[in-house]
Structure 1
Amino acid sequence: MRLISVPLGAAVLFVLAALTASVGSFAALRPSNIPDWLQRHVGDNEGQISQVVLERARALYQKKVSEGSVSNPCYFAMDATRPGDLGNSVLGQRYYIICEAKQLFRAVSSGHGGGRNLKGVADFSNGRRCAKNFGNAMDSELTAGGAYMTAETKTSFKGYYRVGAQNAVFMRTFIQFDGEGEAANARQRVIGGHPAALLRGMCLRKDPNSSYADHDGFVPFGKLVNYAGGRSNGCTSWSPADAEQIIPLVKNNPTTLYIYPESRDIAAVARAKAAGQALSAAGVYWNASCLKEIGSPKFWPKKTLEPIIALYKKDHPAPPPQPVPICKN
C-alpha cells in the first residue's frame, strides 16, 4: 500500500472543512417550519427572540388557531429571563409582537412582577433589572410563565394630571389575560397587560363641571409617572407608547401570549446550576446576563406561598384606608 504524505496544516484545514460541511448539512436538514424572515430574528442578543421562546409561542398560537379560538394574525411572546433595564435609561427588549402574514416582528420593553419581601417570613422580591422569583400565588405580585389568551379590555378613568398650564385626563386600558395550567388563575389574580403609567401623590380638586366629578364635585388629581423601566404587580406592563400599538391589536380580537419561563424551566436551570453544569449541555435556556446576577431562579407554587401570605396578612393587618386629601392648590 502506498502512503501519501500530506502537510499537517493542509490536513487540519481538510478536517475543519469536513466538519463545517457536516454541521452545515445537519442544520439544513434539521426540521424547522419557522420561516426564513422570522428565523433571522432568532438569537440570544438584544432585540432577538430565543429559539425556545419562539417555538413555544408559535406552537401555542397555531394550536389556538386550529381550534378556532383565535383568528388574530398576530401573537405575543415574552422572555422574562432577560433584563428589563439595561442601564443609562435604556430598557431591555423582551416582549415580542409577531404577525407572520405581514412578516412583522417587533421587540419592545416589558415589566416583570416585583414580588414581595415579607420581612422575617419570606423574601420573594425581584430587582429592577432581572427576575429571580416567579410564581402563581394570589397577592404574590410575581410573574407566572406559561400559556395565556388575551381577553376583554377595560378602559378606566384614573384622574387628572398637569400638562403645562392645562389639566389632562388620564385613562388607562387594561387587557385581561386568561391562563392555562399553572397560569390558570390569571383572572383570579387580575393578571393582564396595561401601560406602565399611573398617578401618584393623589389629592382631590374641586371641579363640579367635570363629568368625572363625585357627588361633592371633586375629581382626583395627581402626578403622572411612567414606570416602564420598573416592576409590576405581576402583570405585563408596556411603555405608554408601545401600549398604544399593542392594545388595538387585541381589542375585540383575542390572541395568544406565551411567557417564558415555566416552572419546569426554572427547575431545570436550578438543577443545572446546582450540578455545576453548563445550561447548553443540560439543554435548557436562561439569559446569561441575568443568570449571573440572580444566581439561581426559584418558582414559588401557590400551594406553598398562599398559606405563607395569608398568615402574614393575619399577623400584619393592613392599616385602615385613609381619605384622599384635598389639593392645596
Structure 2
Amino acid sequence: MLLPSSLRAIGLATLICSGLAAPSLASKASQDIPRWLQQHIGTGTGQIAPIVLDRARALYLEKRNKGTVKNPCYFAMDATRPSTADDGSALPRFYVICENAKTFKAVSSGYGNGRKLANANFANGRQCARNFSNAEGSKLTAGGAYVTAESRTSFKGYYQGSAGAKPFLRTFLLFDGEGETSNARERAIGGHRAMFLRWQCRMERPQSKHADAEGFVPFGKLVDYTSGRSNGCTTWSKNATQEVLEIAEGNPTTLYIYPASQDINAVAKAVKKGTSLAQARLYWNDACLKAIGSPKFWPKRELQPIINAWRASLPKPPPLELPLCE
C-alpha cells in the first residue's frame, strides 16, 4: 500500500504548545515533570507530545490525590499519530509511564475504523484517523479521560496450533470514562490484544468445556491486526497487552486519549481558516494532518440517530450456521 509522501517525515518534529487545556485537568502538571521523563517529550517516533503528557499526567495526579487510583503507573495515547512506518512496521502511539520506577515505554495501538453509511461517511483509513466520535456503534475512538476497570477473559474459538487445535482466549480490559466518554461501557470500549479469530467451521470437541449442547466448538484462523484499525477499542500487540494487563489487573489506573472533541474542533477550525497550528497553539501530528486534510468529531447527538436508523433498516440476518470441519 502506498503511503502519502508526508508520512515519510514521521520523525520530523512539529512545534507543539500545550496551551489548549482540557477541562478539569490541572495544567500545573507540566511544571514538575521529572528530568528523566523530559527526555521522552517530543514529536519524534517513540516520543510523547507535550500536551498528551500534560493531560495524561494531570489526570493521573488528580485521581491519585483523590485516592481513586493507587497504581504507580499510568497510560496515555496519541490517536493523531500514524499506524505504520514505510516498511509496514507498527508505529508507537500508546504510552506506559511509571514515574516511581523511572520507566517510559511507547508501543503501538489501534484506533477506531468507523463506518461508511449512506447518510454519513465516518470511516477512517488504515494509516491516519480523521473521524472520532462517542456514539455507540460508531466504531470510532473517543478521546478524553478514562480509568481502567476490571478485565474479562472470553473464549473466541479454536485455532490450529503447533501441537493441534488450541482454544483462543482473549482478555478485555474495561475502561470507565468521564464526560463525553462516560458511555464507555455502553460502547463496550476498553483494551485488548489486536487479534481475533475468523471462524471457518464447527469442530467436534465434546470434551471441551467450551462446547455447545451438541458438542461442537467454532474453529478458525487467527488474524493479527497490530498495525491496523479496531472497532473503537484500544488494541495492542501480544507483548504490550501482557505488560498493560500486568500493570492494570486488579489495580486501576488512568488513561488519557488524545485528542478530545475540543481539540478536534479547534484544529478543524484552524485548518478552515488557514491558521497554522503552531500559531493557534494547537497540536496534531503533522504527517497525519497532511494526509487527512482536517479532522472531524461526530458528537453522539448528531451521529447516534443516523446509526440507529441504519440499524433499523437492516434485514434480520439468518441464523449463523457454520459448516462442519473436514
- Please confirm whether the aligned pair reaches a TM-score higher than 0.5, indicating the same fold: yes
Equivalent residue, structure 1, for 2:188: 190
In the alignment, is the contact (CA less than 8 A) between 2:82 and 2:128 conserved in 1?
yes
Give the secondary-structure state (helix, strand or coil) at the position aligned to 1:102: coil
1:51-66 correspondence to structure 2 within 5 Å:
51-66=50-65
Q: Which amino acid aligns with 1:142?
A: L
Per mean C-alpha deviation after superposition, the further-off stretch among 63-72 and 212-221 is: 212-221
Q: Which has the higher contact order (CA 8 A, sep 6+)?
A: 2
Give the corresponding residue for 2:115. 116
Provide the C-alpha distance between the structure 1 equivalents of 2:256 and 2:210, rounded to a whole number of angstroms: 37
Matches for 1:1-329 after TM superposition, within 5 Å: 32-118=31-117, 120-327=118-325, 329=326
RMSD of aligned residue pairs (Cα, Å):
1.1
- What is the TM-score of this pair, normalised by structure 1? 0.88
Aligned length: 297
Q: Indicate the residue corresponding to 2:24 in structure 1.
A: none
- Supply the AA of the counterpart residue of 2:32: N
**What amino acid does structure 2 have at the position aligned with 1:173?**
T
Moved more, 173-182 or 197-206: 197-206
Counterpart-to-counterpart distance in 2, 1:277 and 1:151: 40
Distance, in Å, in 1 between the alignment partners of 2:89 and 2:275 is 32
Deviation at 1:253, TM superposition (A): 0.3
Q: CA deviation at 1:135?
A: 0.4
C-alpha separation in 1, matches of 2:140 and 2:217: 32
Q: 1:2-38 CA distances to partner (integer Å, 9 max, x unpaired)?
A: xxxxxxxxxxxxxxxxxxxxxxxxxxxxx72000100
Tell me the secondary structure at the aligned position of residue 281 of structure 1: helix
Name the CA distance, whole Å, in 2 between partners of 1:317 and 1:87. 41
Query: Given the two structures, how large is their TM-score scaled by the length of structure 2?
Result: 0.89
Equivalents in 1 of 2:314, 2:165: separation in Å?
A: 39
Cα distance change, pair 208–315 in 1 and its aligned pair in 2 (3 A): closer
Letter in 2 for 1:238: W
Task: Give the distance between the partners of 2:153 and 2:200, measured in 1 at CA.
Answer: 19
How far residue 203 of structure 1 moved from its aligned partner, in angstroms, is 1.5
The CA deviation string for residues 235-258 of structure 1, in whole angstroms up to 9 with x for no partner, is 000012210111111010000000
Q: CA deviation at 1:165?
A: 4.6
> Deviation string for 1:235-282 (max 9, x for gaps)?
000012210111111010000000000011011111111111110000
SS at structure 2 position matched to 1:201: strand
Contact (CA 8 Å) 1:86, 1:129: kept in 2 or not?
Answer: no
CA distance in 2, matches of 1:47, 1:250: 22
Tell me the amino acid that sits aligned with residue 290 of structure 1. C
Alignment check: 8 A CA contact 2:199 2:218 kept: no
SS across alignment from 1:98: strand
Greater alpha carbon shift after TM alignment, 58-67 vs 308-317: 308-317
- Distance in 2, matches of 1:165 and 1:184, equals 44
| SS of residue in 1 equivalent to 2:31 | coil
Query: AA paired with 1:124?
Result: F
CA deviations 1:59-84 (Å, max 9, x no partner) are 00000001101000000000000001
Kindly provide the CA deviation profile for residues 106-131 of structure 1, in whole angstroms up to 9, marking residues without a partner as x: 0000000000000x211000011100
Unaligned runs of 5+ in 1: 1-30
Q: Mean alpha-carbon deviation: is it higher for 209-218 or for 120-129?
A: 209-218
Asked if structure 2 preserves the Cα contact closer than 8 Å seen for 1:152 and 1:175, the reply is yes
Moved over 6 A (4+): none
When structure 1 is superposed on structure 2, of 238-247 and 312-321 the one drifting more is 312-321
Q: Is the 8 A contact 2:146 2:177 kept in 1?
A: yes
Q: Distance in 2 between matches of 1:274 and 1:326?
A: 56
Identity %, equivalent residues? 56
Which whole-Å deviations, capped at 9, do the CAs of 1:209-251 have from their partners, x for residues lacking one? 2222222111111111111111111000001221011111101
Aligned partner of 1:28 in structure 2 is: none
Whether the aligned pair in 2 keeps the contact of 1:197 and 1:224 (CA below 8 Å) is yes
What CA distance in whole angstroms lies between the structure 2 residues aligned with 1:68 and 1:195?
A: 29
SS in structure 2 of the partner of residue 58 of structure 1: helix
In the TM superposition, residue 317 of structure 1 has moved relative to its aligned partner by: 3.2
Using the alignment, how far apart are the partners of 1:302 and 1:318 within structure 2? 25
**Which whole-Å CA distance do the structure 2 matches of 1:241 and 1:259 have between them?**
21
